[in-house]
Structure formats: C-alpha cells, structure tokens
Chains A and B, each alone.
Chain A
Amino acid sequence: MTRYILRRLISVIPTIIGVTFVIFMFQRLIPGDPAVAMLGEHAAEENVERIREQLGLNRPPFLDREALAQGDFNSFFDTQYIRYLGRLTRLDLGNSIHRRIPVAETLAIRFPATVELALVSMILAILVGVPVGIASAARRNSLLDSSSMIGSLIGVSMPIFWLGLMLIMVFAVFLKWLPAGGRISANIQLEYQTNFIMIDTLLAGDIPAFIDGVQHLILPSIALATIPMAIIARMTRSSMLDVLQEDYIRTAHAKGVMERFVLFKHALKNAFLPVITIIGLQAGILLSGAVLTETIFSWPGIGKWVYDAIIGRDYPIVQGGTLLIAMLFVIINLLIDISYAFLDPRIHYD
C-alpha cells in the first residue's frame, strides 16, 4: 500500500508542472502586447515598463537561444517560464496590476470565504443527495424514485447563476426573509481570526452574529449545492441498484435480515466507493461554480475576486486564482485516490 501511495504521489508531479505550464501560457494568449493590454492604451510608459519587468516580458518565453549563440549559459535558462516557476516555488504569484498588492496575500485572506461556502454546500449536497439516492434505490420505480430522479435531472440542467438570481428574487427581494448577498451584515463588528465567519463568531461568543452569518450562507450554499446534490443522488441510486442485485444481498434477505440492515449495513458499504469518487469530482464543480455563485451573492471569496479581475483585466489575479483552484482540485483527487487504498481492501494496487 505504501508503494501505491508513493507512486500516486509521484504521478502528480508531471500533472502539476503541466498545470503551471498551461497557466503560464494564458498570458501568451493575450492579443498584442500583454503589458499594454493590462494597463490600457494610454498608460504611462513607466507603468508599462514596470509590468514588463514584473512579468519578465522582456525575456524570451521559454529558452533564450540568442544568448546561447553568444555562448551565455545563464541567460539561456533565464526566461519568462523559468522565472515564473522560480517565483511559484517562493509562493510569489506576482502583484495585482491595479492595486499593486501581492496576489498570494489576498488569495490567502479570501480563501477561507470560498472554503466555508464550498464546505457548507458540500455537506448540504451529501446530506440531501445520499439519503435521496438510497431511498430511490430501495423503492425503485416508485413515485418517490421517479420524482427524485426527474428532480435531479432538472438540478443537473440548472444554470446555477440563474438559480441564485431566482433565490435572491424570491427570498430576498419579494419575501425579504434572507439577505441578498455578502457574508455578514455591515453593522456587525467582528474580530477576524480565522476568516471563517462561523468559527469567528462562535469564538467571539456572539450568537446573533453567528445567526446572521448562517442566514447569509443559506441562499448561496443552496445555489452552489444544487448540481452536486443532483449528481450525488443519481450516483448513489445507481450504485445502490448495482449492489442490491448481488447474490450476497439475496442471501441476506433469505436469512431474514431486516430490510433496514440489508440496506445500510450490507449494501451501502459497498455502494459507497463510486459515490466517494463522485463526491471528489463535485469538489471541482463547487470550486469552479464559486466564480458564478460568489459573483451573484457578492461573496468576498476567490471566485468573486477572479471575476472582478477578469472585468478589470488584472491578469495576475486570474492566473493566481486559477492556479490555486486547480492545485486544490488536484490535491483533493489525490487524497480520494489514496483513500481507496484504505477503504477498499479487495483491490490490490501494484
């Protein structure tokens, strides 16, 4: 098992290098002179020069063959991409063009907001999706089954930004039950320690603020959880149906084991492996969905920040945010793969 884990860890390295390569290539997609594109055509020459210097744009992109022709080794490797990799190893994601602050710092501040929303959405999706899937499988072809499956198909087809807007319209604009956006009401004073509102409010012992935070979380997490919830429900159902046809389930029934026991003890354990894979993939949907959801709900996380950066053409932020999300996704999938080694003793990985 150790060998499997080790091999899986090593296999991630080329993927990560590939990801940095793709993200580096982004800035070469910018039409025209990137420095001018970032600052606008009427930018001062010194600012353009500053950006060129920051991004190393006056160096060749990958390898400097002109320097080599002069017999200069060091300059041969001193190129944009190598410099970019070097900065990444120091966790330096460059500076925001407009605000001139380090991207990595702001990402770190904004990251908890995104994680909080994603985690709550994931918990919501699992808490609803898994039981619905089990119930649908147990009562196959019943009214419950067909209605939940149609419901989940609608959920999969839902443009989450539209769902979010509809939720705002109904619950915030018309009914005025819940706030339309933000993480916490403006009049609440709070000392930020972890930047997780739920934790910070509890640490401060401020129950009204905690309730206010929860109220702000409800609509965005419903919007974000919809697609994963639908997918998890479908996957749980089909996985359970597969397992329920196995011989050992029939044996269990024949022995007179209680239905509840067969379902939860015998079937669910084996049906859960594919579900876990799917849950891991949903993490990706949650992270990429964050851009849309956070934009709609003015949620001050990475997604909203990336959106603002796209509008403001602040490319280092877009690069940094994309890199962070992609890395997170790679790590989550790695963890899921490794968890198989522990969860499924039947499989030998060699």
Chain B
Amino acid sequence: MTEITPTDLGVIDDFAVREHRSLWKDAWRRLLSNRTARLGLAIVIIFVLSAVLAHYFWEYNPKTDLDYSLKLKPPNLIPNEEVPSIHPFGTDKLGRDIFRRVVHGGWNSLRVGLVAVGISLIIGGLLGLLAGFYESMIITPLERIMLISLIGLLLGALSAWIAEQPIQAVLFALLGAAAAYFQDFLTGKSLRIIFFAGLGLLIGGGLGLLANLATAIVCGSLGLMIGAILALPLGGKFFSDTVMRIMDVLLSFPGYLLAIAIVAFLGPGLEKGMIAIGIVGIPVYARLVRSAVLSVTQKEYILAAQSVGEGHSRILFRGVFPNILSPVIVQSTMGLAGAILSAAALGFLGLGAIPPEPEWGAMLGDSYRFLASGAWWAVLFPGLAIMLCVLGFNLLGDGLRDALDPKLRI
C-alpha cells in the first residue's frame, strides 16, 4: 500500500493543515494588511532606497557644486534659454540643484537617525533591562557581592583620587565584597553600620595619614560614609533607583534642548549631533525597557523558569529579552522619526552638518532668509522631505504597534 501524503488529498492543504506561522511572520502579515502602515513602509523604503542609491551611484561633490548664474531659480522641468538644465525643485542661493541636495541629504539624515537611535537603544536598553530585571528578581548572593564591591570601587575611587592612593579603591571594593559576603554578620542594623563605617574610617583615614592630616580627615570622613553605605542591605531596587534617578536628570531637559546645548558647546558637526541626540534618547529607552521588563517578570513562565533553577542570565536572555522586543521595535521606529526631526532642528540652527554638506535642516536654515524675496521652493522642498520621511517612520511605527500587539493575535 502506498503512503498517502497530505498533498495527494488536495483539500488538506486549504483545510486541515494550517501552515505554521511564527510570531514575526504573523506580525508581518498584519502589518501589510494595514493601509496606513503600508503607506509608511512605502515612504520609508523610497527614502532609504533613494538615499542609499544616491550615495553610491550618483556622484555629488558639495564642495565644487556652485553656479552663481543659476542662483535662486524656480523649479523648471523643461530646459530653456535662461536655465539650460532641469531643476525639478529649483536652485538655492549658490545655484545648486535643490533636488540633488535633497536626495543626498537623505543619506545624512538617515545616518544620523540610525546612529542616534543605536546609541540610545544600546545604552538605554541595557540600563533599563538590568534595572527592571533586578528590581523584580531576588538578587543572588554572588550578584550582591559583585554589586556592593562595585559600589565600593566606584565610591572608593573618589577617595583614592583625592589622596592619590589607588590602593584605597581596591580596599573599599574588598570591604564591599566582605560586607556582602558576611551578610549575616552582626545582624543588628545599627551595630553593623557602625562596624563597617569604622572599617571604612580606618581605610580612608589610615591611608590618608600617610599623606597628611588634612587628607586623612577628608578621606576618613569619606570612608566613614562609604563604609556605612556598604553595610546596608542594598539590592536590585537600589541599583534600579540609582539608574532611574540619573535618567530623571536627563529627562529634565525638555525635548531636544539638551542636544542643542551639548552641540552648542561641542561645536557644530554631524557626528556630534548624532551623539548628542543619542544621549538625549537614552532615558526614553531605559524607561520603556524597564517597564516592559517589570511586566514580563510578573509572568508565570518566568516564575516557572526560576522554580526549575534556571540561572539569571538564562532567564534574562531567553525568557525576558524576546518578550520585550515588540515595544522596543515600535519605539525605535518612532525614535528614528524623532531623531531625524531633532537632527533637522540642529541643522536648521546651524549646529548640524557643516556646510556645504547637504542636510535637510541646514538647507532650510540656509534658505529661509530668501523667503521674503519669494524663493519659496528653497524652503518648501527640504522641509517637505523632512516631514514626509518623519511621517513615514511614524506611520510605520504606528502600524508596527498594531501588528505586534499580541492581544490581537488569533
């Protein structure tokens, strides 16, 4: 008897055997079935393709691009006597073809966006991941030793720097490790603090005495404080709180104000803009990832993983990480839009790309003074490029949020 395979039966293909689809494939299908998301995806693809193709195949040297005879000409699609070349978007104050510069400017904008989001995502994501994870997980003894000796090292480094005695940092790190290791030593809280603070005083003050009395007093009182801190039963919550406090400081600078200020002091440049925008984005991702991790770690499968004795790193990377990807992907897409917008703002203020490098914001900043004389094209097209590109990423991000929302998964 010959074996019957599903394909022989024909019907099974459509009916009984449902094709296996992964979560991502499912999300992708949902994304494509959404009209606005499709529009966003199309816009993004057009901008990415044109920027990449232009960068590699359409040579452009901004340094030599200059033709005063064609200064501020309106768009023309048919060559005529006055303007012998085609300029679909017109020309700017130096007679440069705006279309060409808009297309090439896309490369710079996308580059800034990608690098900036990369910086915020890697630093902010990592901080948020660790903060959220250790806030909800019980810290293991080994991790506690690492954490508290790290605190000892960092705080001790200050004392070591003041006294110019590197050995102090090492000693404080060891003190931290000891305090964490002998967790049950001297259980009375105040007694424990007094004991370790005394040890800290000995380290700081004793070594400080080798320099002079003043150093001994400063380092001694520092050591007293460090020792007291190390004696406290610090855990994941402390780590998380510290990280989030620092993020709060960064979040106190509204919008792109911090990026503007950083670049204002560093001096203009595309690379500096990327870094500044990246730094500004760090707390956004740290907060997002932390809250996502906090909700994931409440799930039963994490409890199950813990109860079968899986290690923290395995739980973190196999259990938590894949499950926080959806919001991170959505935020990164929207973040790209925001980064491109911030980069354009920096460029407009003269803090982005250094002229004559083509960049959308800088092009606007260059040309808006000619608006009063009627040169609308020099302002309209670069701005339109910014808006469409940002809109594309926002539409895509919106669509991704709907597509990745697991509540809708059937």
Q: A69-B215, A307-B349 are in contact. Are A18 and B383 (CB under 8 A)?
A: no
Stretch at the interface among A23-31, A82-90, A211-219: A23-31
Residues of A within 8 A of B228 (CB): none
Cβ contacts A281-311/B at 8 Å (1 or 0 each): 0011101110110011000000000010011
Tell me the smallest distance from the CB of A326 to a CB of chain B, in Å: 5
- Does A250 interact with chain B (Cβ within 8 Å)? no
- Asked if B394 contacts A326 (CB within 8 A), the reply is no
Tell me the smallest distance from the CB of A165 to a CB of chain B, in Å: 5
Q: How far is the CA of A15 from the CA of B242 in the complex (A)?
A: 11
8 Å CB contact of A169 from B36, B254, B371, B382: B371
- Does A57 interact with chain B (Cβ within 8 Å)? no
- Does A101 interact with chain B (Cβ within 8 Å)? no
Stretch at the interface among B114-122, B306-314, B373-381: B373-381
Q: How far is the CA of A169 from the CA of B380 in the complex (A)?
A: 10
Residues of B within 8 A of A288 (CB): 253-257, 260
Residues of A within 8 A of B162 (CB): 63, 65, 68
- Does B249 interact with chain A (Cβ within 8 Å)? yes
- Does B161 interact with chain A (Cβ within 8 Å)? yes
- Does B138 interact with chain A (Cβ within 8 Å)? no
- Asked if A71 contacts B256 (CB within 8 A), the reply is no
Tell me the smallest distance from the CB of B29 to a CB of chain A, in Å: 21
- Asked if B261 contacts A322 (CB within 8 A), the reply is yes
- Asked if B249 contacts A162 (CB within 8 A), the reply is no
Q: How far is the CA of A287 from the CA of B255 in the complex (A)?
A: 8
- Asked if B261 contacts A26 (CB within 8 A), the reply is yes
Q: How far is the CA of A166 from the CA of B374 in the complex (A)?
A: 12
Residues of B within 8 A of A158 (CB): 387, 390
Cβ contacts B233-262/A at 8 Å (1 or 0 each): 000000000000110111011111110111
| Those of A143-178 within 8 Å (CB) of chain B | 150, 153-154, 156-159, 161-162, 165-166, 168-169, 173
- Asked if B253 contacts A65 (CB within 8 A), the reply is no
Residues of B within 8 A of A14 (CB): 245, 249
- Asked if B394 contacts A76 (CB within 8 A), the reply is no
Tell me the smallest distance from the CB of B173 to a CB of chain A, in Å: 21
Tell me the smallest distance from the CB of B381 to a CB of chain A, in Å: 10
Interface size for A (C-beta < 8 A) is: 57
Q: How far is the CA of A158 from the CA of B390 in the complex (A)?
A: 8
Shortest Cβ distance from A286 into B: residue = B254
- Asked if B260 contacts A326 (CB within 8 A), the reply is no
- Asked if B391 contacts A71 (CB within 8 A), the reply is no
Count A-B pairs with CB separation below 8 Å: 159
- Asked if A18 contacts B261 (CB within 8 A), the reply is no
Shortest Cβ distance from B360 into A: residue = A159
A15, A29, A70, A284: most-surrounded residue (chain B CB, <10 A) = A29
Q: A166-B380, A292-B345 are in contact. Are A322 and B257 (CB under 8 A)?
A: yes
Residues of A within 8 A of B366 (CB): none
| Those of B364-410 within 8 Å (CB) of chain A | 364, 368, 371-372, 374, 376, 379-380, 382-383, 386-387, 390-391, 394-395, 398
Q: How far is the CA of A131 from the CA of B289 in the complex (A)?
A: 33
- Does A4 interact with chain B (Cβ within 8 Å)? no
Shortest Cβ distance from B259 into A: residue = A288
| Those of B149-206 within 8 Å (CB) of chain A | 161-164
Q: A18-B246, A153-B395, A159-B390 are in contact. Are A295 and B215 (CB under 8 A)?
A: no
- Does A22 interact with chain B (Cβ within 8 Å)? yes
Q: How far is the CA of A284 from the CA of B251 in the complex (A)?
A: 10
Cβ contacts A312-330/B at 8 Å (1 or 0 each): 0001001100100110011
Stretch at the interface among B20-28, B263-271, B292-300: B263-271
Residues of A within 8 A of B380 (CB): 166
Q: A169-B376, A318-B264 are in contact. Are A18 and B252 (CB under 8 A)?
A: yes
Q: A76-B218, A288-B257, A296-B368 are in contact. Are A162 and B351 (CB under 8 A)?
A: no
Place the interface of chain B in its size category.
35 or more
- Does A72 interact with chain B (Cβ within 8 Å)? yes
8 Å CB contact of B245 from A18, A165, A166, A291: A18
Residues of A within 8 A of B262 (CB): 26, 29
Tell me the smallest distance from the CB of A50 to a CB of chain B, in Å: 20
Residues of B within 8 A of A31 (CB): 266-267
- Asked if A18 contacts B248 (CB within 8 A), the reply is yes
- Asked if B372 contacts A15 (CB within 8 A), the reply is no
Question: Chain B interface mostly helix, strand, loop or mixed?
Answer: helix
- Does A19 interact with chain B (Cβ within 8 Å)? yes
- Asked if B214 contacts A159 (CB within 8 A), the reply is no
- Asked if A325 contacts B254 (CB within 8 A), the reply is yes
| Those of A26-77 within 8 Å (CB) of chain B | 26-27, 29-31, 63, 65, 68-73, 76
- Asked if A157 contacts B394 (CB within 8 A), the reply is yes
Shortest Cβ distance from A16 into B: residue = B252
Residues of B within 8 A of A173 (CB): 371-372, 374
8 Å CB contact of A159 from B252, B253, B386, B398: B386
Q: A18-B245, A329-B253, A330-B252 are in contact. Are A73 and B387 (CB under 8 A)?
A: no
Q: How far is the CA of A65 from the CA of B222 in the complex (A)?
A: 14
Shortest Cβ distance from B368 into A: residue = A165
Q: A153-B391, A318-B265 are in contact. Are A162 and B383 (CB under 8 A)?
A: yes
- Does B212 interact with chain A (Cβ within 8 Å)? yes
8 Å CB contact of B341 from A159, A165, A180, A319: A159
- Asked if B257 contacts A168 (CB within 8 A), the reply is no
Q: A18-B245, A162-B364, A322-B261 are in contact. Are A157 and B253 (CB under 8 A)?
A: no
Q: A288-B254, A288-B257 are in contact. Are A310 and B351 (CB under 8 A)?
A: yes
Q: How far is the CA of A291 from the CA of B337 in the complex (A)?
A: 20
A73, A150, A161, A289: most-surrounded residue (chain B CB, <10 A) = A161
Residues of B within 8 A of A154 (CB): 387, 391
Q: A29-B265, A168-B371 are in contact. Are A326 and B211 (CB under 8 A)?
A: no
Q: Which 9 A-B pairs have the closest CB atoms?
A: A284-B254, A288-B255, A162-B383, A18-B249, A157-B391, A157-B390, A288-B257, A29-B265, A71-B214
Measured CB to CB, the residues of B under 8 A from A are 36, 161-164, 211-215, 218, 245-246, 248-250, 252-258, 260-262, 264-267, 337, 341, 344-345, 348-351, 361, 364, 368, 371-372, 374, 376, 379-380, 382-383, 386-387, 390-391, 394-395, 398
| Pairs across A and B, CB under 8 Å, 15 listed | A14-B249, A18-B248, A22-B258, A150-B36, A159-B386, A165-B364, A166-B383, A284-B255, A287-B257, A288-B255, A291-B260, A295-B349, A311-B350, A315-B265, A329-B253
A154-B387, A311-B350, A318-B265 provided; 11 other pairs, C-beta below 8 A? A30-B267, A157-B337, A162-B386, A165-B364, A284-B255, A285-B254, A292-B345, A315-B265, A322-B257, A329-B253, A330-B252
Measured CB to CB, the residues of A under 8 A from B are 14-15, 18-19, 21-23, 26-27, 29-31, 63, 65, 68-73, 76, 150, 153-154, 156-159, 161-162, 165-166, 168-169, 173, 180, 283-285, 287-289, 291-292, 295-296, 307, 310-311, 315, 318-319, 322, 325-326, 329-330
